[in-house]
Amino acid sequence: MLTIADKTFTSRLFVGTGKFSSSDIMRQALEASECEMVTVALRRVELDDPGDDIMQAIGGGKFFFLPNTAGARDAVEAVRLARLARAAGGGNWLKLEVTPDPRTLLPDPVETLKAAEELVQDGFVVLPYINADPVLALRLQEVGAAAVMPLGAPIGTNRGLLTRPLLEIIIEQMEVPVVVDAGIGTPSQAAAAMEMGADAVLVNTAIAVAGDPVAMAAAFGQAVIAGRRAYKAGLGAIACRAAASSPQTGLEFLR
Amino acid sequence: MNNFSLPDFKQLRDMSRRADEAAVQQALRTNRPTLNDLAALLSPAAGRRITALAARSAEITRQRFGCAIQIYAPIYVSNYCINRCAYCGFSAGNRIKRRVLDIDEAAREAELLKGRGVNHILLVSGESPERAGVDYFVALAQRLRDHFAAISIEIQPLDEDEYAQLFAAGITSVAVYQETYDRELYPTLHLSGKKRDYDYRLATPQRAAAAGMREVGIGALLGLSDWRAEGMALGMHLAWLRHQFWRTALTVSFPRLQPAAGGFTALQQVGERQLSQLLFALRIFDHDVGLLISTREEARYRDGMLGLGPTRYSAGSCTAPGGYSDEQEATEQFEVDDHRSVDEVCAVIRQRGLEPVRKDWDAGFQMAASA
């Protein structure tokens, strides 16, 4: 079980809701992935409109709604958007994204830290999206972030765990859960993140733009389970040379 | 900051004609296209490979934008204009019925659009600071901002501090087209008015970006000068703006000359193949730029282009001030060629396996301290 703040989750796969060809396909993909946590850009939804496509598709209590502030240019905007969303019934959980560059959507570490501090004090459960920066992750933990969400590669690139050495440090040192977010392009990469000891992964583009998003969502769901099991089972060390499975000890002479 | 400048237009024209098949192949393969690659993509040699361009453009668009097509509609608020431009229906010399909507009338048009499911609106006017100046647009934006996800403008070029006022009032983005980047041709088409100043207009996108606008749109009116060279200029302008203003999202529009009052005949023929090549070339050159196809183009073409590169469609548009409330109203800027309703356009987008996105911003981002 994954515990973040006061909630527990069976699934360690979070799914994003952008880029899908329809909200119907999105709903089917979410179900096939067996995820519980679903993140939605506040810019895409009208929380106070009961007819909103996306909100309807993820409604019904099956998924836990994690709104995000994608598009916020600085802490002021992110905080304002979060408060408006909470006031409109969006709850107090928040995936904090401060992404001043609309092209790369890379997170601004300075503004993210500022916003996280303010939002935590205001009662939010804050999950900040960050670059794979171990010191920033610690700083965010200190100000009360409920988890950290470091990126594996630039968002939407499907390039996998390019930040692996830094993710390893983050995973090793953090008390709060680590959710690898952005850049994961294949189920094998998701499994690899879980094998490293990530507490969860977040996937969007790789599912939404797959040839068959529903089948791909199921594949990610299984990969995350397999990766987590492998991590729990204790992976063998990686060796540079071949080693026999049934080694001769070279100590046969001993009496 | 220094201003954006371009090489001689003839040089751009030469550049865009030089490429051979190998250069086109290279431009289709690379992940980090240069201006030489853009030149190759705009070349006659690339024109012979247009299906390969379309495939590459579609692939990039799907990766970067997914299956989303943003939907917007224009509200024409005034057709008064102080400029005489040879090609434009609103040109000061044209004897047409002129009208500027007052704030209530404009809000009524907006309400109608909202009722049709439009959440992103573009306020458009002729260039007449006296009839529709900064104060007018500030008042209008403040009136509309809580009702729409995003409000853009396509009006007369302004100074940076004026754009800052509009941003604070709730305007999110600015579109301003150079019409033609051909410096020699420009004064022969822009006969009088402030628009005659090529350089002031050329520096408009950077003033809007410097003022903090979220998004800046550029474009060239196709049918005036050499489209390949315009493509080079657009690419250079994009690259320069990206570099100077990394916080600003960029878009390009592709208006082709349509029949309008004044009876201007296009100086250059730009067919659908050429328009498509230009759009594909810019998508391959800049993976993240928003590309707009308006209702100037007919339904068959717009539907065919879905998924191949464009990311934003206008729908249900009327280009006459007051035209949504009263279909007999005033004179249009140009004739619209896709007359379908917003819902009809969205239905076709869905049929193509894409998602029409009516809301992709939130007024909450920039609630002004002054509001």
* Domains and their CATH numbers in chain A: 2-233 (3.20.20.70)
**Among chain B residues, CA nearest to A74:** B365
Nearest CB to A21: which of B63, B353, B361? B353
Average predicted confidence (pLDDT) for chain A: 90
Q: Distance, in angstroms, between B344 CA and closest chain A CA?
A: 16
Asked if B360 lies within 8 A of A43 by C-beta distance, the reply is: yes
Mean pLDDT (whole number) for A5-33 = 91
Q: Which residue has the higher pLDDT, B198 or A91?
A: B198
Q: State the pLDDT confidence band at B329, using cuts at 50, 70 and 90.
A: low
Asked if B365 lies within 8 A of A77 by C-beta distance, the reply is: yes
**Among chain B residues, CA nearest to A77:** B365
- Residues of chain A contacting residue B249, judged by C-beta atoms under 8 Å apart: 102-103
Mutate to test the interface with A, among B60, B63, B64, B67 (most CBs of A within 10 A): B67
- Give residue B369's pLDDT: 45
Residue B29: other Cβ atoms inside 10 A? 10
pLDDT digits (tens, 9 = 90+) for B90-102: 888 888 889 999 9
Q: State the pLDDT confidence band at A85, using cuts at 50, 70 and 90.
A: confident
**Whether B77 contacts chain A with CB within 8 A:** no
**Whether A42 contacts chain B with CB within 8 A:** yes
For chain B, the domains span 9-19+33-358
Please state, in angstroms and rounded to a whole number, the distance separating the CA atoms of residues A179 and A177: 6
Q: Tell me: domain B9-19+33-358, CATH 3.20.20.70, correct?
A: yes
Residues of A with a catalytic annotation lie at: 95
pLDDT digits (tens, 9 = 90+) for A177-203: 999 999 899 999 999 999 999 999 999
Q: State the pLDDT confidence band at B371, using cuts at 50, 70 and 90.
A: very low
- Give residue A46's pLDDT: 82
Q: Distance, in angstroms, between A47 CA and closest chain B CA?
A: 11
Q: State the pLDDT confidence band at A244, using cuts at 50, 70 and 90.
A: low
Please state, in angstroms and rounded to a whole number, the distance separating the CA atoms of residues A73 and A75: 7
Share of chain A above pLDDT 90, in %: 66
Q: State the pLDDT confidence band at B274, using cuts at 50, 70 and 90.
A: very high
- Give residue A45's pLDDT: 82
Mean pLDDT (whole number) for A131-137 = 96
**Whether B271 contacts chain A with CB within 8 A:** no
Share of chain B above pLDDT 90, in %: 80
- Residues of chain A contacting residue B353, judged by C-beta atoms under 8 Å apart: 21-22
Beta strands in chain A (DSSP E): 2-4, 7-9, 13-16, 37-41, 64-68, 93-96, 125-130, 149-150, 179-181, 200-203
- Whether the pLDDT of residue B230 is over 90: the answer is yes
pLDDT digits (tens, 9 = 90+) for A211-230: 999 999 999 999 999 999 99
Which positions 210-239 of B are in contact with A (Cβ < 8 Å)?
A: 214-215
Asked if B67 lies within 8 A of A21 by C-beta distance, the reply is: yes
ipTM of this predicted complex? 0.73
Mutate to test the interface with A, among B362, B366, B367 (most CBs of A within 10 A): B362
- Give residue A237's pLDDT: 67
- Whether the pLDDT of residue B334 is over 50: the answer is yes
Q: Number of A to B CB contacts under 8 A, please give it.
A: 73
Q: Distance, in angstroms, between A43 CA and closest chain B CA?
A: 4
Dihedral class, residue B13 (left if φ above 0, else alpha if ψ from -120 to 50, else beta): alpha
Mean pLDDT (whole number) for A41-54 = 82
3-state secondary structure chain B: CCCCCCCCHHHHHHHCCCCCHHHHHHHHHCCCCCHHHHHHHHCHHHHCCHHHHHHHHHHHHHHHHCCEEEEEEEEEEECCCCCEECCCCCCCCCCCCCCECCHHHHHHHHHHHHHCCCCEEEEEECCCCCCCCHHHHHHHHHHHHHHCCEEEEECCCCCHHHHHHHHHHCCCEEECCCECCCCCCHHHHEEECHHHCHHHHHCHHHHHHHCCCCEEEEEECECCCCHHHHHHHHHHHHHHHHHHCCCCEEEEECCECCCCCCCCCCCCCCCHHHHHHHHHHHHHHCCCCEEEECCCCCHHHHHHHCCCCCCEEECCCCCCCCCCCCCCCCCCCCCCCCCCCHHHHHHHHHHCCCEEECCCCCHHHHCCCCC
- Whether the pLDDT of residue A125 is over 90: the answer is yes
